[in-house]
Structure 1
Amino acid sequence: MSAQDPVPVFTNLNDLYANLGTSLNHVERWNNLTEEFETRFGQRPTYIARAPGRVNLIGEHIDYALFGVLPAAIERDILIACAPREVPAVSPTDEEHHAPGSVIAENLHPKYTRQVFAPAPKTNVDDDVHVEGWHLEIPQQLRWENYVKAGYYGVLNEHFTGSTSHPIPVDMLVTGSVPAGSGLSSSAAMVVASTLAFLAINGKLDNSAETKITKGELVKMSMENEKRVGVNSGGMDQAASVMSVPSSVLYITFFPSLTASPTPLPGGAVLVCAHSLKVSDKALTAKQGYNLRVVETLVGARVLARTLGVSVGPREKITLREVVGRLTNETDIGTGGAGMDVNALMEVLKKVDDAVEKLKPVGTTHPEFGATMEEMVEMSGLSKEEFHEVYMSWVEVDATHFKLYKRAKHVYSEALRVLKFRKLCLDTAAAATSMDDNVAALKELGDLMNESQTSCADDFQCSCEELDQLTQIAREAGAYGSRLTGAGWGGCTVSLVPESQVEAFIKQVSERYPPYQGLEGEKLSEVIFATRPSSGACVYKFD
């Protein structure tokens, strides 16, 4: 599997369904979406774009530090049916749905209303004809259509800037089975699906297209697109949604380049996702949460590099992964190489603890080793103006103390846990072990997941009371391990559960976790469910 592989375009539903897993009735959902689209728009869809949510088994908040992670696509997904809309040759130009590239977007969920919007062409002041670019207003608000707009903006920017051609007007209908704000990456799935829909409708995925869109290109485009709604994503969510394959967890690396390789889980266990019912929206809480952690991690990397004598450019935003590489004179990274091998990286990470201690501010009285803005600027070795330009000019954060030490401690320890988790999975698969041996391996994997949860709660401080309670209940109900998944501050947990005990496990958790009491049937299955790794994003093209 490679980031250079093309995005799959199916023309046979049997081939498509075979890749999606079995826990959801995919045939019924796809047929219902198609029929509803025809009812609402008077024509059949031309395409359906699909992007799955993802669950991260281990490796939280380390992707934007460029360390590898271990997520998997889940069977729950976002589907967008779409078709080009005919605009009469003579039509009122002041009506938005008649404008070039206009979009009529509807959602199957009744709480979401129809949205009509259109990009505005920006022209060169010296030439009233030549289109220089497109403008599309995207408020940084928790609204479903803003994620659709974000995907559209990327396509406009990538394929219609500097061109006299116009994007095609489109009708679209959206549906999804990924719980919003759950930590299962519904936002990334929405952005990936909308990006794919606009690429498909504008002929950018056809065999006749001059430039084929690869999975790697779709990941990078979707990462940039999601930033339009105020989230500085590290790429794990998009990579998992796009590059996953059935029945495998992915080891995704970001340094020195984006790669993904399947990692088999030992047999005998499944994943159970459980929503804490505390909604976590990265876009709304970014200033005190996600974006703040990105800044703390980046500044921590510069300070650590400086204390270790590692060279850093004055305008460079070095990452914690790059610090490790430069500290060890890592080679083979500038010409498409893979850098140091996994075993060497594991050895370096085992020795990094002493270096991280240097991130504690000297003489600080803050109980959690937090540095004030003034202390942080001094530790960076930059002037106040340089520091603001490099670390604060592109993102909004809200904090009085910045916990560089704790964030780096989590990142390095979590990166090592990911490599241990992966090695144990690969070693178990290679040894063709017995079921008893698999159980022993699963228990070790569970221990690593539990350690990750502790680090997320104590050092990265991205857990919450509900997630702490839910993971504890899960372990007591028989899970090998349980941890938050996704950005945290609410959302979902993921538990590694013996396959034979899934039904009993879900029953016990539902009885003991207070927010689940009174939920039954479909309502309960929406908040706690078993899943197997699914396939990544794709497009179905109707005949």
Structure 2
Amino acid sequence: MSGPVPQVTALGDIYTEHSLLEQGARWNKLLEKFQSIYGGPAQFVSRSPGRVNIIGEHIDYSLYSVLPMGITPDVIIAVSTNLESSKEGTYKLKLANVDEERFPTRELDIAYGEVNIDATQHEWTNYFKAGLRGALQLLERKYGAGFKPKSMQVLLDGTVPAGGGLSSSAAFVSAGALSVMIANGEKDVDKKDLTEVAIVSERAVGVNSGGMDQSASVFSERGSALFVSFAPTLSARPVFFPKTNPELIFVVAQSFVTSNKQVTGPIHYNLRVVECSMAAAALNAKLCQGTELPKDSGPLGVSLHGFHTNYLKDSKKSMPEQLTELIVLTKSTLAQEEGYTLEEVASAAGTSVDDIKARFMSSFPVRGERFMLQQRALHVFTEALRVLDFLTLLEDKSRHSASEDTTDYNKKLGDLMNATQDSCRDLYECSCPEIDEICTIAREAGAYGSRLTGAGWGGCSVHLVPADKADAVKKALVEKYYSKRKLSEADMEAAIVVSRPMNGSAVLKLEEGKFP
């Protein structure tokens, strides 16, 4: 899971041929605007993409593996260090955005050793400063306390829709941290170092992440998904998509239904984290009597994966066989389909109500009268199994063909995504009518598989589509979904993204502000 971030000399090293014309015009506009704003050329551009999670929804915080991929929408940052600070003991940052009306230019003099971020303020430059802080902490550990950062002129352009479930914040922070390291003389930036910096840095702007978003943004490779694992430690490896006929692409569609986590978290996202942790405690108490549920890196210090490891630590079965066994056991062990009261959760876990509250309900706000332990655990175990089934299909070379018709194979991949949507709707209850409608429209127009992606309760959907049906799927979504909503021109432009699996972070070095 290591190696240097690629340093490239051409856009063809970053993007597919399908997007080169559009991206070339965009990058030229960025470099021309940089010259216009700062009166001199940029020295390099750092780039990190957004991501979409193909399969593996709401299981990363239970420490099961997921399959995201990098996408075409990204954050690109043009940089020059040809300026000096005007104040002794400080370095200067000039931060500009191509969309200057929405994101006004800022000029900052920052004292050595200080990067103050007010996460309560919705300020676009906080994301750059978050990457700056993390990168400088890494450089100070490497070079000592006497390290002095260089001043930077920065111009940013981002095409990852903010708040759309495609990890715009991870792309911004990753690209920002990368730009700081290159500006301060790093010849090779290790991918794992950059990922870990980005994970920690995002917390400065109030984003707590398990690492999937940043791993996908940094490590993704063109034509591949990224198999990200969280136990025993964070790791990632590319899994290349096969040649198929028809070719497969992904359509990402926004619902424009937003779920404010601060408002709805206690009954949605936070509650699911708690229910999964409670299910782990109950299963461990009933099936691993006399043993403690192992502590791990789950949000509440325990996870369903921890129970899994404890219960099947001596098993010789394959991972799919183990998950199949856990699915059967969950149905019989957590048998109350109507859910559990707090008192019943405590009884199932072999402890007191006060202990359950202290362990699972004191870290963040949660509201619930009945806790749906069976349904949440079943979603996690079945989804973890679907990820492995999807992975097996991708790696089964006997099924790959660019000449023979692979429709049946394509449908098998799509069926797994459809099953994920069914589980998110019925077992995890994190879908919404609008996402369900979008998925139905896309499937009827030719998508093999359609499902929500991201936190859910609105947000984004992802669709596996034959390339020759992409226009039909887009047209159907516009006519049957988006036309019924009063959307701005900007929203309509961001509503649908068509992407193939894309490369992760990269640096493009320039000559006199132009491509070599």
Question: Structure 1 length normalisation: TM-score?
Answer: 0.82
CA-to-aligned-CA distance 1:49-92 (integer Å, 9 cap, x gap): 1111112221111122221212211111111122226335xx45
What letter matches 2:95 in structure 1?
A
Specify the alignment match of 2:514 in structure 1: none
1:17–1:27 Cα contact (<8 Å) kept: no
Q: 1:487 aligns with which of 447, 455, 458?
A: 455
2:15–2:72 Cα contact (<8 Å) kept: no
Specify the alignment match of 1:320 in structure 2: 304
Q: 1:154 aligns with which of 113, 120, 134?
A: 134
2:379–2:428 Cα contact (<8 Å) kept: yes
Q: 2:67 aligns with which of 63, 66, 70?
A: 70
How far the C-alpha of 1:414 sits from its partner, in A, is 0.6
Q: How does 1:31-70 map to 2 (within 5 A)?
A: 31-70=28-67
What letter matches 2:323 in structure 1?
L
Question: Structure 2 length normalisation: TM-score?
Answer: 0.86
Bigger shift: residues 513-522 or 241-250: 513-522
Q: 2:116 aligns with which of 136, 152, 157?
A: 136
Query: Aligned equivalents of 2:496 and 2:209: distance in 1?
Result: 26
How far the C-alpha of 1:308 sits from its partner, in A, is 2.0
Aligned in 2, Cα 1:108/1:530: closer, same or farther, shift over 3 Å? same
CA-to-aligned-CA distance 1:314-351 (integer Å, 9 cap, x gap): 865232223222222259xxxxxxxx8xx811111111
CA-to-aligned-CA distance 1:88-113 (integer Å, 9 cap, x gap): 5xx456xxxxx624433222122112
Specify the alignment match of 1:423 in structure 2: 392
Q: How does 1:63-212 map to 2 (within 5 A)?
A: 63-84=60-81, 86-88=83-85, 91=86, 100-109=90-99, 110-117=101-108, 134=114, 136-140=116-120, 142-160=122-140, 163-203=145-185, 205-207=186-188
Bigger shift: residues 312-321 or 529-538: 312-321
1:74–1:532 Cα contact (<8 Å) kept: yes
Aligned in 2, Cα 1:200/1:371: closer, same or farther, shift over 3 Å? farther
2:84–2:91 Cα contact (<8 Å) kept: no
Specify the alignment match of 1:528 in structure 2: 496
What letter matches 1:54 in structure 2?
R
Q: How does 1:290-329 map to 2 (within 5 A)?
A: 290-309=269-288, 311-312=291-292, 316=296, 317-329=301-313
2:51–2:213 Cα contact (<8 Å) kept: yes
SS in 1 for 2:310: helix
Query: Aligned equivalents of 1:384 and 1:34: distance in 2?
Result: 61
Is residue 451 from structure 1 mapped to residue 419 from structure 2 by the alignment?
Answer: yes
How far the C-alpha of 1:43 sits from its partner, in A, is 2.6
Is residue 242 from structure 1 mapped to residue 179 from structure 2 by the alignment?
Answer: no
2:87–2:109 Cα contact (<8 Å) kept: no
Query: Aligned equivalents of 2:92 and 2:414: distance in 1?
Result: 49
How many residue pairs match? The answer is: 499
Q: 2:321 aligns with which of 347, 353, 361?
A: 347
How far the C-alpha of 1:369 sits from its partner, in A, is 1.5
How far the C-alpha of 1:284 sits from its partner, in A, is 7.2
What letter matches 2:173 in structure 1?
V
2:281–2:293 Cα contact (<8 Å) kept: no
Aligned in 2, Cα 1:92/1:142: closer, same or farther, shift over 3 Å? closer
1:253–1:259 Cα contact (<8 Å) kept: yes
CA RMSD across the alignment: 3.3
2:45–2:79 Cα contact (<8 Å) kept: yes
**What 5-or-longer segments of structure 1 have no aligned partner?**
94-98, 122-132, 208-212, 332-339
Specify the alignment match of 1:409 in structure 2: 378
Query: Aligned equivalents of 1:274 and 1:302: distance in 2?
Result: 37
CA-to-aligned-CA distance 1:104-126 (integer Å, 9 cap, x gap): 322212211223456566xxxxx
Aligned in 2, Cα 1:113/1:347: closer, same or farther, shift over 3 Å? same
CA-to-aligned-CA distance 1:198-248 (integer Å, 9 cap, x gap): 222222x315xxxxx422222222222222222322222211111111112
Identity across aligned pairs (percent)?
36
Is residue 264 from structure 1 mapped to residue 241 from structure 2 by the alignment?
Answer: yes
Query: Aligned equivalents of 1:377 and 1:391: distance in 2?
Result: 11
How far the C-alpha of 1:165 sits from its partner, in A, is 2.1
What letter matches 1:264 in structure 2?
F
